[in-house]
Amino acid sequence: MATRSKSSQRWLKEHFSDPFVKKAQAEGLRSRAAYKLEELLERDRLIKPGMTIVDLGAAPGGWSQMARKVMGDRGRVIALDILDMPPIAGVEFIHGDFREESVLSDLERLVGDKPVDLVLSDMAPNMSGVGTVDQARAMYLSELARDFAEAHLRKGGDFLIKLFQGEGFDAYVKDLRPRYQKLTIRKPAASRRRSNEVYALAAGKR
């Protein structure tokens, strides 16, 4: 059996001692990421019963689970991820790569003609370890998510997306601002401090 690298051992130690990981396990949530969304929900009241929500990059399901919990039995949660995701009651799931036209078409068919109230994107590329490559891949996914929100959000709808600070970040934020009434950058407590991830909340699609 191959031994784990020191960085891998350090990550595992950090992961399993993480209070948000422990809390997620205790409360039956699929990932610590659910608490990032929970904090944003508490601050910004993004989700209401009866909404139609699209969750991009949903696996393992923490955000979809939290959205369904907040909405109760009313409304729709449509989730998509390149990774498979065990079923969640009340969540419609598409297993596929968001970068592929056929997968995007499947998602658009499932959404139908009804405008979406909220688009969530916690997407991230598979990290290669090469910073410039990973940042470019992350920004490409962010652009696809922005374009999907532009096409499918109702007027006044909201878009919440994970972004990685680096090349292209400032230009992306600048491009997003005029599309929405308000844009806020958040760093939830459950987001690890050393991570360069932040969340952009674009509220009130124009």
Active site residue 23: no
Burial class (CB in 10 A: 0-12, 13-18, 19+), 165: middle
Q: What is the pLDDT of residue 12?
A: 44
Query: DSSP state, 29?
Result: -
Domain ranges of the chain: 31-205
Look at 115 and 41; give whichever has higher pLDDT: 115
**Model pLDDT for residues 140-189, shown as the tens digit of each residue:** 999 999 999 999 999 999 999 999 999 999 999 999 999 999 999 998 77
CATH architecture of residue range(s) 31-205: 3-Layer(aba) Sandwich (3.40)
Instruction: Could you list the residues known to form a binding site for S-adenosyl-L-methionine, using ranges.
Output: 61, 63, 81, 97, 122
Among the options 13, 162, 174, 205, which is catalytic? 162
**What integer best gives the mean pLDDT of the chain?**
86
Q: Sort strands 197-205 and 153-164 into parallel, antiparallel or unpaired.
A: antiparallel
Tell me if the bond preceding 60 is cis, omega within 30° of 0.
yes
Model confidence at 195, pLDDT cuts 50, 70, 90, reads confident
Cα R_g (the chain), whole angstroms = 17
At 158, give phi and psi (nearest 5°).
Answer: -120, 155
What is the pTM for the complete model shown?
0.83
